[in-house]
Structure 1
Amino acid sequence: MTALNKYQNQKRILVAVDCIIFGYDGEQLKILLIKRAMEPQKDQWSLMGGFIEPNENLYGAAERILFNSTGLKKVYLEQLKSFGDPQRDPMERTISVAYFALIDINKYREQISDTHHAEWFLVQEAPKLIFDHDEMVEKAKRRIRYKAAFHPILFELLPKKFTIPQLQNLYEQVYNAKIDNRNFIRKVNSTGLLIKLAEKDKSSSKRGAFYYELDMNKYRAKFQSFINFIPNPENFIL
């Protein structure tokens, strides 16, 4: 059998990309979902997804699907893993490559398209999703928890200027755990990543909390050698 015949005799399998979009509005960690537009499970909540086109790579497909579904572009986007259970899609044998995105909701609020009626849900209160999308979300949450212990990826969820309480609240929501305030502040300051501003946020108290900005040069330099904020990060397996 020639190589050409061997290729021709193989059953064609569809390849899709699904995007898991996490956002933070300064107070709550959320996930962006849409309602499926076709059967099966039409009108059920779903991740943003679509099939890979012949002329694009996986990352390009993820960027296109993300933009077409929500209008979002130039956001933090990372490949999670592939999902290939033969029964995962009842219509056709389909392998899905999942990606997750991290965004500051307030920064992209006006950019999100209404075409697919995307809606934000609190991560802890998200509805049941189609197919194996719930599994994808759980895997993404575990990956983010693991990575955030060593790399400053959660800063992607914050506005340009933010307070230490906002940052701590974000970490606590991601890990669903209370973090010691003084220890957190000490570790944050020791990174040298933050630039303290003169301006204060006084929305929560008269005394207020100083705003900080991320030093982007140090952020890029330290991205692969970040301090461990979280005890026992090995509990958050990939």
Structure 2
Amino acid sequence: LPGGPVGPRESLGTAASRTLASTTGLRPSYLEQLYTFGDPDRSPTQRLVTIAYFALVTEAQVGATVEDENVAWFAVDDPVLENLAFDHRQIIDYALWRLRNKVEYGQIAHRLLGERFTLAQLRAVYEAMLGKELDPANFRRQLKATQSIVATDEYLAGGQHRPPRLYRYAGSGHDPLEVDTNHE
């Protein structure tokens, strides 16, 4: 959970982007304000207010993070996360809850895929976000009923079996969930 101060003439989103880039090397295209944590008892020494953001990063971006003793990836159920300072576990739990809710009603899963993707790739993203396996047939049926994706005339090349069809997001090209980090 990288953190840092906001500069005197810097928006909150810009500060979050800068802090994430300077501590991890990550420059995600999706960054969203999560919540403001300011319980008076969250720090034993002084009153601290945290305006938390969460970012979505691709698998390729994860592998490109800065190598540093203070930068590491953990599964959300890793026991090491139970002993975090302050209310940091609460922040993680809230981010996970919010992400899981967003995947149910929004197109946030598409942020982790390329422009074209298979249904199996999309289902894998949903399963990772929701923390559970989904029935492939039900997933396909429910997803097609939403009309949020469109089949292309392209297929994924390679592999031993019949190549799967590629799909694309049916949106206008602008993700309504994306936050402009230049504004608060």
Q: TM-score normalised to the size of structure 1?
A: 0.63
Superposition map of 1:1-238 within 5 A: 47-107=1-61, 109-110=63-64, 112-115=65-68, 117-125=70-78, 127-128=80-81, 129-190=84-145, 191-196=147-152, 197-200=154-157, 202=159, 206-207=160-161, 209-210=163-164, 212-215=166-169, 217-218=171-172, 220=174, 223=176
Aligned length: 173
Distance change (3 Å), C-alpha of 1:96 and 1:167? same
Question: Does the CA contact (< 8 Å) of 1:163 and 1:201 recur in 2?
Answer: no
Distance change (3 Å), C-alpha of 1:200 and 1:216? same
Query: Any idea what the Cα deviations from partners look like across 1:113-149, whole Å, max 9, x if unmatched?
Result: 2245422222222622221110001111111111111
Distance change (3 Å), C-alpha of 1:157 and 1:124? farther
**Shift of the alpha carbon at 1:212?**
2.6
Q: What is the CA–CA distance in structure 2 between the aligned matches of 1:212 and 1:126, rounded to whole Å? A: 38
- Which structure 1 residue ranges, 5 or more long, are not aligned? 1-46, 225-238
Q: What is the CA–CA distance in structure 1 between the aligned matches of 2:85 and 2:114, rounded to whole Å? A: 32
**Shift of the alpha carbon at 1:78?**
0.5
Amino acid at match of 2:157: K
Amino acid at match of 1:169: A
Structure 1 or 2: larger strand share?
Answer: 1
Distance change (3 Å), C-alpha of 1:152 and 1:95? same
Secondary structure of 1:207's counterpart equals: coil
Question: Does the CA contact (< 8 Å) of 1:200 and 1:208 recur in 2?
Answer: no
Question: Does the CA contact (< 8 Å) of 1:69 and 1:116 recur in 2?
Answer: no
Q: What is the CA–CA distance in structure 2 between the aligned matches of 1:158 and 1:90, rounded to whole Å? A: 42
Distance change (3 Å), C-alpha of 1:107 and 1:74? closer
Secondary structure of 1:172's counterpart equals: helix
Q: How large is the Cα RMSD of the aligned pairs?
A: 2.5
Q: TM-score normalised to the size of structure 2?
A: 0.80
**Shift of the alpha carbon at 1:91?**
3.4
Residue 8 of structure 1 aligns with which residue? none
- Which structure 2 residue ranges, 5 or more long, are not aligned? 178-184
Percentage of identical aligned residues: 31
Amino acid at match of 1:193: I
Q: What is the CA–CA distance in structure 1 between the aligned matches of 2:3 and 2:12, rounded to whole Å? A: 12
Q: What is the CA–CA distance in structure 2 between the aligned matches of 1:105 and 1:63, rounded to whole Å? A: 19
Amino acid at match of 1:75: S
